[in-house]
Amino acid sequence: MKVLLLNTYAHGGAGIAARRLQKALSGNGIQANLLTAQDVGRRWSFYAEKLLFLPFERDRSVRFQFSTASVGHDISRHPLVQSADVIHLHWINQGMLSLGGIEALAALGKPVVWTLHDMWAFTGGCHYAGECDHFLTGCGHCPMLRKPAENDLSRRIIQRKKSAFLPRIQYVTCSEWLATVARSSSLLRNAAVTSIPNPIDTQLFKPMTQAERQAKREALGLPANRPVILFSAMKVSDHRKGYAYFVEALQHLRQTLPQDAPQPFLLVLGDMQADAMREWPFEGRATGMVREPERMAAFYALADAFVIPSLEDNLPNTVMESLSCGTPVVGFDTGGIPEMVGKDAGGFIVPQRDARGLAEALSKLMTNDALLQRMRLAARDKVLHSYAESVVAARYQDLYTSLLT
């Protein structure tokens, strides 16, 4: 069986997930190739799409939150496409595939699987709808557009999607949350939608012993006997990642933490402004972007808690990575995060925007070592049973086989 995975980038959340799936499928004896925008053409289509959207955008803040898929590459004649038994789309926006390009792939007669990493496939252009529910009825009056109207760009895009390719595609979501939302949409309520999580390499992302943790902290110049609280985002200032709630939670923690409890040390991974550290009520370090998987795994494993106060998310790789390293997760009730985390699955979930709830959960982990150790074991166990490469690859193999027979 030959499977071709398509994703705009080799990096980013969806790119990492696609590369991990490629590795997992190969480990299960499936010939899996990955094709990205860099492999199929120049960047002109990325700039062309953004330029064409300029007259419609409400303001600059929505420029990368809305994709028209009006421009892209026709890869239907690409040798890897021609030789594939199954074509597997992932995140194909920002000039990788246009709607016509997706339609051309669907028209080849080969099974097409589309793993959704956000809501774009069933909206009129936005990647996350936020509080807008217009995708339930066919869009229009889009709050991201300069001139919202009944037959605005979002309505026209969703009608184009409806006529182009929907009936010929098997949709997969990484979380049950997104599957439920997709099935409620006007576009996919009658489509084939199933849920399969992303895989993770549990031999790379694995726990450390206490001695290993101490040694790694010492090597990195981190305190050996203080709790380490970790936050990670590609762009810390992205409002969807909830960094402001992270800082607010730390301020609550500073006020409520028992005086005899050790003070936590903060570790923030990702692109952030240098002066943002002034808001921190505890000592800490900002590492900047960390792209090497081995370094990421080490940071997760040496931490005592990973905080993810995201306001919009699907099934974040960061949560899976933390759990796989045996590090408890504290996060908001957002997207698929509650499916991954909970009292019996290595962490705490609190209502969205409840910074005080985050602080209370962190306090429990920092002041109850037995609880922390129990959650470390639960976190690792959840990943081994649900997200290990062999588990996820087998589920996709079953899906591919069912589409080929």
Is the predicted pLDDT of residue 174 greater than 70, yes or no? yes
What is the DSSP pairing of strand 31-35 with strand 228-235?
unpaired
**CA 67, CA 89: separation in Å to the nearest integer?**
16
How many C-alpha atoms does 8 have within 13 Å on its Cβ side?
18
Is the predicted pLDDT of residue 167 greater than 70, yes or no? no
Residue-averaged pLDDT of the chain? 94
Is the predicted pLDDT of residue 148 greater than 90, yes or no? yes
Is the predicted pLDDT of residue 275 greater than 90, yes or no? no
CA distances from 23 to 7, 126, 318 (A): 15, 30, 18
Averaged pLDDT for residues 216-242: 94
**Which tens digits make up the pLDDT trace of 291-318?**
899 999 999 999 999 999 999 998 899 9
Could you give the residue ranges of the DSSP H alpha helices within 292-388? Answer: 293-302, 317-324, 337-340, 355-367, 369-386
**CA 15, CA 213: separation in Å to the nearest integer?**
29
pLDDT confidence of residue 134: 98
Is the predicted pLDDT of residue 235 greater than 80, yes or no? yes
pLDDT confidence of residue 345: 76
Q: Do domains 2-199+389-404 and 210-386 have the same CATH topology?
A: yes
Which residue type sits at 346? G
pLDDT confidence of residue 43: 83
Is the predicted pLDDT of residue 165 greater than 70, yes or no? no
Q: Is the distance from CB of 172 to CB of 195 less than 8 angstroms?
A: yes
Is the predicted pLDDT of residue 93 greater than 90, yes or no? yes
**Which tens digits make up the pLDDT trace of 311-352?**
999 889 999 999 999 999 999 999 999 999 976 779 999 999
Residue 35: both structure tokens together:
């094709």
Is the predicted pLDDT of residue 178 greater than 80, yes or no? yes
Which residues, in sequence order, are CB contacts of 122 under 8 Å at separation 6+? 116, 135, 161, 182, 185, 186, 187, 188
**Domain extent listing, the chain:** 2-199+389-404, 210-386
pLDDT confidence of residue 163: 81
| Residues shown for the chain | 405
**CA 340, CA 349: separation in Å to the nearest integer?**
10
Is the predicted pLDDT of residue 164 greater than 80, yes or no? no
CA distances from 95 to 50, 53, 64, 87, 152 (A): 9, 12, 12, 18, 21
Q: Is the distance from CB of 322 to CB of 299 less than 8 angstroms?
A: no
pTM of the predicted structure, to 2 decimals: 0.90
Q: What percent of the chain has pLDDT over 70?
A: 99
- The secondary structure of 42-110 as a DSSP string is -THHHHHHHHHHTTTBSSGGGTTTB----S----TT-HHHHH-SEEEE---TTTT--HHHHHHHHTTSS
Rounded to 5°, angle at Cα 283 from 281 and 287: 115
Averaged pLDDT for residues 55-66: 95
**CA 45, CA 67: separation in Å to the nearest integer?**
12
Q: What percent of the chain has pLDDT over 90?
A: 89
| CATH ID of 2-199+389-404, from 1.10.287, 3.40.50, 3.80.10, 3.40.1350 | 3.40.50
In CATH, which superfamily holds the domain spanning 210-386? Glycogen Phosphorylase B; (3.40.50.2000)
pLDDT confidence of residue 177: 94
**CA 298, CA 369: separation in Å to the nearest integer?**
21
**Which tens digits make up the pLDDT trace of 75-86?**
999 999 999 999
Least confident of 90-99, 157-166, 218-227: 157-166
The crossing angle, in degrees rounded to 10, of helices 317-324 and 369-386 is 120
Q: 232 — phi, psi (to 5°)?
A: -145, 135
